[in-house]
Amino acid sequence: MHPRFRLLLTPRQPLTANLRFRQHNTVGRTLLSSIGLKREFSASAKFNSKSSKPPPQIHMATTKTGQPLDRGTLDILLRRRLFYTPSFEIYGGVSGLYDYGPPGCALQANIVDTWRKHFVLEEDMMEVDCTMLTPHEVLKTSGHVDKFADWMCKDSKTGEIFRADHLVEEVLEARLKGDKQARGIKEEEDKEDEDDKKKKKKKVKEIKAIKLDDAVRLEYEETLAKIDNYDGKELGELIVKHNITNPATGGALEPPVSFNLMFSTSIGPSANLPGYLRPETAQGQFLTFSKLLEFNNAKMPFASASIGKSFRNEISPKSGLLRVREFLMAEIEHFVDPQKKSHPRFAEVKDIELRLLDKDVQLSGKTILTTKKIGDAVKEGIVDNETLGYFLARIFLFLTELGVDPEKLRFRQHMANEMAHYATDCWDAELLTSYGWVECVGCADRSAYDLTVHTKKTGQPLIVRENLENPVVWEEWDVDVDKKWMGPRFRKDAKKVEETIEAISQADREILAAKQAAGEKVMITVEGLGEVELEKVEIVKRQKQQYIREYTPNVIEPSFGIGRIFYSLIEHIYYTRPEDATRGVLAFPPKIAPTKVLIVPLSGNAEFVPWIEKITRTMRKAGIANRVDDSSASIGKRYARNDELGTPFGVTVDFQTVKDGTITLRERDGMKQIRASIEDIVAVVKAQVEGNGEPWEKIVEKFGEFTGQDLE
């Protein structure tokens, strides 16, 4: 196969394939962590080991209020409150599979709803719902069958399987740590490291204090900095060279083999239609392109969008919700004329400032963020085009609307060797968490790659035919042959002669025409026949016009990992009460919060019941998700429970309610209360939930702070 075609078969770069957790690890380096999938570019392009080692991050994960974030405590909270829970736990669980409980499910639905309004409705995108089951051939064409894989190696004795790059990384890290111990260098972050060990189920359980040669230490560090870029053969060589074995048993490992990350299955009763669970939602959108174009009255540009589950059979998932085997994605495919990548609404966003980490800065070995207006970034050529820039700004607006901390959000550009060869430009929206910077949204200009490969494979043109207002006009020499003469003259060779004529260049035609005009014979050389005379031909110059332009659209693809946004957002909005470090609060914005209002009767008094019913009914009618807590726990305990659930408002029903129909409303973060009629309170909450309310201080000012309630 021609190399060019081989390159075309390099798969598209999927969302998490580009994921890089930049972890502040235990040996004091920040490295491209191996938590990322094996990237496809690794075989063809390598980081320069010097330049690919960015300096340590200046940022650390903190709570919303700036305290150090204790991931373990947060995780316990999230499980206790059923934001998520390991799937099939009573059957022992399956790693990489998690269920969302009621608050997690509501939070996810609110994120998806916000996404749909922010992108699909606002931009009139065409949402599609394509199947997860995907036949082999489609994913063969996209490149996933051949390339969407990690390297694994097996302990032939125990049968245990390791992800090769992870194992090499862990073993070398452990040795470097042992070297430090042997040299008596104090470990700084022992506790965090212990937590990490438990969380991430490390294979290397024990650090041995063995001093390394300086050269060996350097080699290990360089290897670690490049760990994402080795292919299977190279990983195998590293395993042999550094004598890496099964950490538990010391057993020898087989050479790494490629393991495809797609779940395979078989469609239908005979085994002849192999298929996979899709690894991304994009392919379905590409295949529907022509129908969508027609649905859009053949107008360009347009975008399709899809929200749905995708699947990746990770070799050994860890990092909680960040690396799972089944996950929700939301993807946009914005199809655009490659010659017109401007965007009509770019002016609306051009002054939005983004924190950028461009490829040049990374190449220089730095991770210094530049804050820049997206308009300037496009003007200066840092971001390739307006449409791509428009989406980066829209992604920023979306994430901050959810409650993401803009200080912990950066846009990192892919470096040339990190991008698929066909991609024009690619930026990741990364959120800073306790796992490091996590890629939550990818935004790539994928050129015409995807539509082109499917067109080639199926013969169905996934193209745009555009009527040209001003037809393209040009002149051309035609060689008109008298077919009635040619057939009898050349017989079986007629076709060959015709093809030879067809192949005459415009320049040669002009020369022939000049000769003919000068009365000379028109002679051409035909393979196998030698020179022949074309007696009955005319060579004439004609004007040509083209009214239709055909092109394969380029695709700009913002791709959202909803589960990663879900988790990172929680880290951003989590804090503990200053007065009580054990009291965790999830400070979701009202719009995103799973439940908006907790309704608390002051006691189990029967007189309160009709009031509670009235309040819930009124709120439900106003579309406000609420929950009653009439348990016997103290009001303080009930509020604490709801701090953990992130419920922004609390309503109490007390004896004054029975008298005058007023209720109290308490805001979660400031804990200040107001007292007013049910109708007024519902109106206040509705405005807050819909995002068009006044700041809470103003509301307290307006209604007056209420402090009189007897909470006993």
Among 204-212, 307-315, 574-582, 657-665, which window interacts with a copy of itself (CB under 8 A)?
307-315
- Selected range binding a copy of itself among 238-246, 268-276, 427-435, 675-683, rule: CB under 8 A: 268-276
**Separation CA 34–CA 25 (nearest Å):** 12
Told to check if 369 binds a copy of itself by CB under 8 A, we report: no
Task: Count interface residues toward a copy of itself (CB under 8 A).
Answer: 79
SS (H, E, C) 40-94: HHHHCCCCCCCCCCCCCCCCCCECCCCCECCHHHHHHHHHHCCCCEECCHHHCCC
Q: Tell me, what amino acid is at 581? A: A
SS3 sequence of 545-578: EEEEEEECCEEEEEEEEHHHHHHHHHHHHEEEEC
The partner residues of 106 in beta bridges, in order of sequence, read none
Does residue 553 have a cis peptide bond before it, meaning omega lies within 30 degrees of 0? Answer: no
Alpha helices in 202-315 (DSSP H): 214-225, 232-241, 282-287, 289-295
Shortest spacing between CB 281 and a copy of itself, in angstroms? 11
Stretch that binds a copy of itself, among 30-38, 271-279, 517-525, 666-674 (CB under 8 A): 271-279
Q: Which one, 67 or 266, has the nearer CB to a copy of itself? A: 266
Phi, psi of 59 (to 5 degrees): -95, 145
Binding flag, residue 54, a copy of itself (CB under 8 A): no
Work out how close the CB of 677 gets to a copy of itself at its nearest, in angstroms, rounded to a whole number: 22
Residue with smaller CB distance to a copy of itself, 326 or 353: 326
Nearer to a copy of itself, 121 or 523 (CB): 121
Going from the C-alpha of 160 to that of each of 257, 315, 498, the distances in angstroms are 14, 11, 66
Are 225 and 47 in contact by the 8 Å Cβ rule? The answer is yes
Among 106, 479, 593, 674, binds a copy of itself (CB under 8 A): 106
- Could you tell me which stretch among 62-70, 105-113, 237-245, 513-521 binds a copy of itself (CB under 8 A)? 105-113
DSSP letters spanning 322-339? GS-SEEEEEEEEEEE-TT
Q: Which of 60, 97, 210, 468 forms a contact with a copy of itself (CB under 8 A)?
A: 97
The answer to whether the Cα torsion of 190, 195, 199, 205 is positive or negative is: positive
Distance separating alpha carbons of residues 649 and 667, to the nearest angstrom: 5
* Selected binder of a copy of itself within 143, 284, 301, 561 (CB under 8 A): 284
Residues 442-501 that bind a copy of itself (CB under 8 A): 454, 457-458, 460, 462
Dihedral over Cα of 367, 372, 374, 379: its sign: negative
Task: Tell me the closest approach of the beta carbon of residue 348 to a copy of itself, in angstroms.
Answer: 12
Distance in angstroms (rounded) separating the CA atoms of residues 81 and 130: 33
Q: Does the protein bind a copy of itself through residue 129 (CB under 8 A)?
A: yes
Give the whole-angstrom CA distance, residue 293 versus residue 290.
5
For residue 573, the minimal CB distance to a copy of itself (Å) is: 21
String of contacts with a copy of itself for each residue 63-82, x by CB under 8 A: ------------------xx
CB of 311 to a copy of itself, least distance (A): 7
Give min distance, CB of 285 to a copy of itself, in A.
Answer: 9
The candidate with the shortest Cα–Cα distance to 562, out of 553, 570, 552, is 570
Q: From the list 269, 528, 578, 695, which residue makes contact with a copy of itself (rule: CB under 8 A)?
A: 269
Amino acid residing at 103: P
| Closer residue to a copy of itself in complex, CB, 265/605 | 265
CA 111/CA 164 separation, integer angstroms? 35
One of 174, 277, 438, 479 touching a copy of itself (CB under 8 A): 277
Binding of a copy of itself by 128 (CB under 8 A): yes
Minimum CB–partner distance for residue 304 and a copy of itself (Å) = 8
Give the residue, chosen from 23, 108, 142, 642, that forms a contact with a copy of itself under the rule CB under 8 A: 108
CB of 482 to a copy of itself, least distance (A): 42
Among 55, 56, 135, 704, binds a copy of itself (CB under 8 A): 135
Distance CA 301, CA 293 (A): 9
Query: Between 690 and 701, whose beta carbon lies closer to a copy of itself?
Result: 690
Does the footprint of a copy of itself cover residue 547 (CB under 8 A)? no
Per CB under 8 A, the segment of 27-35, 94-102, 214-222, 359-367 that binds a copy of itself is 94-102
Query: From the CB of 78, what's the least distance to a copy of itself, in Å?
Result: 13
Say which residues have a Cβ less than 8 Å from residue 448's Cβ, sequence separation at least 6. Answer: 338, 422, 552, 553, 554, 555
Of residues 246 through 265, those in contact with a copy of itself by CB under 8 A are: 259, 263-265
Can residue 604 be called a binding residue for a copy of itself (CB under 8 A)?
Answer: no
Residue of 7, 44, 65, 89 interacting with a copy of itself (CB under 8 A) = 89
**Out of 15, 31, 61, 152, which residue is the one contacting a copy of itself (CB under 8 A)?**
152
Cβ atoms of residues 388 and 341 within 8 Å: yes
Looking at residues 620 to 649 of the shown chain, list those that interact with a copy of itself (rule: CB under 8 A): 620, 625, 627-629, 631
Nearer to a copy of itself, 318 or 496 (CB): 318
Q: How far is the CB of 400 from a copy of itself (least distance, A)?
A: 20
Tokens of 639: 């509020």
Distance CA 494, CA 218 (A): 72
Alpha carbons 216 and 481: distance in angstroms, whole number: 76
Q: Does 618 bind a copy of itself (CB under 8 A)?
A: no
